[in-house]
Amino acid sequence: MRLAVGVTGASGAIYGYTLIKALSGLGVEVHAVYTDMGCKVLAYECGLTLAELTPYAVVYDNSDLFAAVASGSFKTGGMVVVPCSMHTLGAMATASGRDLLTRAADVTLKEGRRLIVVPRETPVTAIHLTNMLTLAQAGAVVMPAAPAFTHKPGTVDELVNGMIGKILDGFGLEHSLYRGRG
């Protein structure tokens, strides 16, 4: 399987990083796009650079609209945008394709592939909710970064893994990221 992962500048860079590592560990071919703010938040929150992701993913420059993930002929099993800022959510809801991440998301939807969007913002406005509804009506799965406690997490990593497990579930990928799974 091949998946695209977009990471924006919303807080929660650990979600994107953990997802990319988990997908790679499952043998998934990962194609990642970070926004400029996504790179800054990755450095600020996780102390990491994009260069440290290259063992786990093909990483594209967000301004490279010639990148493979910008084309519908590049077959993927879908795309995840995690965390998703409200700025990027709005751009995706209008199909602006203004950069590689939003173009790849638009391609994912137009090709009828699974798009999972993980907004990481609270509280939300009516505008945010309208944009989420627009994406859901277009076929995206809106999965807010709202960690569950049913698996009784004891650490931040266990909270993060629970959310990543839900994303993996959305693609039918078997994993053991949180307790309670068979």
What are the binding residues for dimethylallyl phosphate? 166
146 near 174, Cβ under 8 Å? no
Tell me the three state secondary structure of residue 95.
Answer: coil
Annotated binding site: 9-11, 35, 85-88, 120, 166
Tell me the three state secondary structure of residue 140.
Answer: coil
- The DSSP secondary-structure symbol of 59 reads E
- Counting Cβ atoms within 10 Å, is residue 66 exposed (0-12), middle (13-18) or buried (19+)? exposed
Annotated binding site for FMN: 9-11, 35, 85-88, 120
